[in-house]
Structure 1
Amino acid sequence: MQQQVQRFRFLGLLVAFLMWGFGHAQQNMNTANSYKKRVLETTEVDFLSSYYSQDGDNAAVTGGRGTEELTDVTGTIIISIPLSDDDVLIIDAGVSAYTSASSSNVDPFDGNERADSFVASSGASRSDVWTNLSGTYTHSTDDRNTMYSGNLSVSSEYDYFSFGFGGAFTKLFNEKNTEVSINANIFLDTWTPIYPTELRPFASGANGLDNGFFSNKTITGNTDYSPTFENFEDETRNSYSVGLGFSQILGKNLQGSLALDFVKQDGLLSTPFQRVYFADVADSFIQEFQLADAIEQLPDSRFKVAGGGRLNWYINESVVLRSYYRYYYDDWGINSHTASVEVPIKLSDKFTVYPSYRYYQQTAADYFFGYEEALSTNTFYTSDYDLSKYSANQFGMGVSYTDIFTKMHIWKLGLKSIDLKFYKYDRDTSFSSSIVTAGFKFVMD
């Protein structure tokens, strides 16, 4: 109950912030100076949607061995409102609904099929909905060389709630050829921990086999099932980030930028429903499903550093080369390299295509163990392959349509652009995914 009250307080604060923005917009639109060029001429509305699917054989929910099949459908609306000549309010609201074979096996016994880590359970745990609402207020000075912004956000799903706030400062120099920026954000998150169903009877050292859950189930293999399990005491996760940016126009056709980001996380960084199987513990099964020896245990702090750069070369009026590189490090032992290239090709005044390629590779976290590789004597362990050593390739293709005159209208909205993208992603493990996205930008008449 206390967590729900806290969530409503956070949501009320964000709604009040957005209502103030709307009221301020009406006031300033009536008093704006007609001779000053506005930061944003008129209200813009973006409708975004995506369809994502993935598959693989290394699900963290089932200890690094099991189906990773998942589908997700997302819808987002972003409204950018000019409050005055100098001020803009951006409201971002999104909903994401997914169905996951992996998460369905948090409780593999709540469906009609026999329990198996490679088969999705048909129970309630196989789907969830994530919602998000955020607001960003931006102010630019008269000379447009300085910009300040602040933001608030809330997001929620069945077992997780997040409240965030932050701000940014941007300064332009050298006749706007040089830009420096700094941003900072804080996210205060709360878990409602959901544990693997077979472990719950063993909480607080109880003899779980006497629990009613096991009364109508037959354990095979090691029948003396005795997992390592305690509920997490800390159910919060706090994240603090600071980002530095530098951008420079290097020539008539060349622009470069650098970015450096720092992130500190504290609290519950383990995922409560991700199982681990030990190499030195005999296997226990119900039906075809292997019972957990423990749940993921990770340190309660993590420090991340990422530095990267972009270089954009405007080859001619039809072709641009966009390149990017980033190096990442954290104190869990992961080092990674990301490199990508995108080549927008302008086919006409209205149509542009942009093929892209991205390469990624990382080392494994110090606490990563594959299926039945960890030992019960280890302090920290996870079988989440997102923390394993791997490399990945992503190929993409996009097409955009732009009409600066907004000839096509829907009600009072003029269609300014349409963007369609497709990306195919493959790791050198068994994991692969694909995503299709669509974006429609409208301007208010």
Structure 2
Amino acid sequence: MTDSDNGKLDTSMNLRVFTFLGCLLICIGSFAQTDSLSTKTSYKKRVLDATELDFLMSYYTQEGENAAVTGGIGNEELTDVTPTIVVTIPLSDDEVLSIDAGISAYTSASSSNVNPFDGDQEADPYVASSGASKSDILSTLQLAYSHSSNDRNTIWSINTAVATEYDYFSIGFGGSFTRLFNQKNTEFSANINIYLDTWKAIYPSELRDQPSFVPFEDEARNSYSLGLGLSQILSKKLQGSLSVDVIYQEGLLSTPFQRVQFSDIPDLIIQNFTYADDVERLPDSRFKIAGGGRLHYYLNEKIIFRSFYRYYADDWNIQSHTASIEIPYKITDSFTVYPSYRFYNQRAADYFAPFNQHLSTQEFYTSDYDLSKFNANQFGLGISYTDIFTKIHVFSFGLKKVDISVQYYERDSGLNAMIVSGSVSFVLE
């Protein structure tokens, strides 16, 4: 879960996806032929010994009273269930293919009020409408291929991803490069990703037939990211890492169904609902940069300290600080518990103001509290079980690991949330 945490196919799109996948398979085949020749001359340990299968599930719930769909006030109650399956397949000694497929099924009180009058009760920002917009399903599929050099000091990978929802479609692709040196005590990594998103803009019901309302002309959004990392073993007990991430976005960065009310225009209130004067309008570009570091300290065979800090800034004038600590404690050879704490502080974007406090003369405006000033705390507790010898079997798969965690999140703006997540990992024997 993130802090401003927690959007979302035409024929040409499909053609691009299948073309890319075809190239991917050709690359996989060519590398497999090359590596089969090298393995005849010398033995080397496989990067991945056997196919692994991971089942993941999370349940997220939140509540609050600053819904952006209704202009910064109203019910923010939301639940989301996210089942995911990840299959990791060794293609050869050096190659691994990963397939990640999942869905995110949510029900949202705030999104139900895109049309607050399609329910069976009076329109009210604090009451969820029973209309069709109250729920949706996001489906995702990601493929990743990685190749390791013979000495295991160089790793590169390519990936592609597709996500689709009722009003949203995204296709992404990218790659990464990792180099280990200094007897594997130092690691440098770089990754680049591109996401091409398209909205099917849905506007608040009261604005759709309003002559003065101006819809968005461009419903596309592109995101480009570059990440660099450097990890170093500092001593037998201490490891540190530094990372920098740069992201540039362009296109429709506003959410079309999030309302804004102006203080210099008289309110129109029907039942208990204040009509929108406009929708959220934000700049069509955004530059983000974040830098951070980690320190992991091995205290003894029972306890490890894991600390993290990150600074973030963008050209919307948001700045934030994130600091966290996790302390895994090994109870037995199989069981580990890991309490955690995370603190987040954020400065508001230049374009944010609460409900009914913007002026109609402004160029950009939003009442989305994800872009407001706030502090947040997150407390977590997890437990993991490792079946060292894979004694437990399901068909041909041996149990590798079970992990369960609970995280509680709260903002000083009133939003609070809880996420319960779990995973079960198997290995083919």
- When the two structures are superposed, what TM-score results if normalisation uses the length of structure 1? 0.91
Match of residue 66, structure 1, among 69, 74, 85: 74
Which residue of structure 2 lines up, in the alignment, with residue 201 of structure 1? 209
For 2:193 and 2:334, locate their aligned partners in 1 and report how far apart those are by CA, in whole Å: 37
Which residue of structure 2 lines up, in the alignment, with residue 105 of structure 1? 113
SS state at 1:251 partner? coil
Which residue of structure 2 lines up, in the alignment, with residue 269 of structure 1? 253
For 1:302 and 1:16, locate their aligned partners in 2 and report how far apart those are by CA, in whole Å: 33
Which residue of structure 2 lines up, in the alignment, with residue 5 of structure 1? 11
- 1:370, 1:383 within 8 Å by CA — same for their partners in 2? yes
For 1:24 and 1:104, locate their aligned partners in 2 and report how far apart those are by CA, in whole Å: 51
User: By how many angstroms is 1:190 displaced?
Assistant: 0.5
Deviations 1:376-397 (A, max 9, x none): 0000000000000000000000
User: By how many angstroms is 1:149 displaced?
Assistant: 0.6
Match of residue 138, structure 2, among 124, 130, 138: 130
Which residue of structure 1 lines up, in the alignment, with residue 174 of structure 2? 166
User: By how many angstroms is 1:26 displaced?
Assistant: 9.3
Write out aligned runs for 1:285-300 (5 A).
285-300=269-284
Match of residue 266, structure 2, among 271, 282, 289: 282
Letter of the 1:311 partner, please give it: L
Q: Measured at CA, do residues 70 and 14 of structure 1 come closer, stay the same or move farther in structure 2, by a change above 3 Å?
A: farther
Deviations 1:263-295 (A, max 9, x none): 000000000000001111111122111110110
Letter of the 1:95 partner, please give it: I
Q: Does 1:415 align with 2:399?
A: yes
Q: Does 1:310 align with 2:289?
A: no
Deviations 1:323-369 (A, max 9, x none): 00000000000000000000000000000000000000010000001
For 1:303 and 1:162, locate their aligned partners in 2 and report how far apart those are by CA, in whole Å: 20
Which residue of structure 2 lines up, in the alignment, with residue 185 of structure 1? 193
For 1:107 and 1:28, locate their aligned partners in 2 and report how far apart those are by CA, in whole Å: 59
User: By how many angstroms is 1:373 displaced?
Assistant: 0.9
For 1:296 and 1:354, locate their aligned partners in 2 and report how far apart those are by CA, in whole Å: 40
Q: Measured at CA, do residues 25 and 244 of structure 1 come closer, stay the same or move farther in structure 2, by a change above 3 Å?
A: closer
Q: Measured at CA, do residues 256 and 26 of structure 1 come closer, stay the same or move farther in structure 2, by a change above 3 Å?
A: closer
- 2:35, 2:94 within 8 Å by CA — same for their partners in 1? no
Which residue of structure 2 lines up, in the alignment, with residue 88 of structure 1? 96
For 2:355 and 2:408, locate their aligned partners in 1 and report how far apart those are by CA, in whole Å: 27
Which residue of structure 1 lines up, in the alignment, with residue 150 of structure 2? 142
Q: Measured at CA, do residues 20 and 410 of structure 1 come closer, stay the same or move farther in structure 2, by a change above 3 Å?
A: farther
User: By how many angstroms is 1:35 displaced?
Assistant: 2.3
Percent of residue pairs bearing the same amino acid type: 60
User: By how many angstroms is 1:441 displaced?
Assistant: 0.5
Write out aligned runs for 1:392-431 (5 A).
392-431=376-415
For 1:157 and 1:394, locate their aligned partners in 2 and report how far apart those are by CA, in whole Å: 29
Letter of the 1:367 partner, please give it: Y
Letter of the 2:232 partner, please give it: Q
Deviations 1:44-95 (A, max 9, x none): 1110000000000000000000000000000111111111111111111110
User: By how many angstroms is 1:12 displaced?
Assistant: 2.9
For 2:390 and 2:28, locate their aligned partners in 1 and report how far apart those are by CA, in whole Å: 25
Q: Measured at CA, do residues 298 and 389 of structure 1 come closer, stay the same or move farther in structure 2, by a change above 3 Å?
A: same
Which residue of structure 1 lines up, in the alignment, with residue 304 of structure 2? 320
Q: Which moved more, 1:324-333 or 1:278-287?
A: 278-287
What is the aligned-residue RMSD (CA, Å)?
1.8
User: By how many angstroms is 1:17 displaced?
Assistant: 6.1
User: By how many angstroms is 1:10 displaced?
Assistant: 3.9
Q: Which moved more, 1:257-266 or 1:28-37?
A: 28-37
- 1:28, 1:84 within 8 Å by CA — same for their partners in 2? no
For 1:158 and 1:401, locate their aligned partners in 2 and report how far apart those are by CA, in whole Å: 38
Which residue of structure 2 lines up, in the alignment, with residue 211 of structure 1? none
Q: Measured at CA, do residues 234 and 329 of structure 1 come closer, stay the same or move farther in structure 2, by a change above 3 Å?
A: same
How many residues end up aligned between the 2 structures? Answer: 419
Q: Measured at CA, do residues 436 and 135 of structure 1 come closer, stay the same or move farther in structure 2, by a change above 3 Å?
A: same
Q: Does 1:359 align with 2:338?
A: no
For 2:184 and 2:117, locate their aligned partners in 1 and report how far apart those are by CA, in whole Å: 62
Q: Measured at CA, do residues 71 and 257 of structure 1 come closer, stay the same or move farther in structure 2, by a change above 3 Å?
A: same
For 1:129 and 1:347, locate their aligned partners in 2 and report how far apart those are by CA, in whole Å: 39
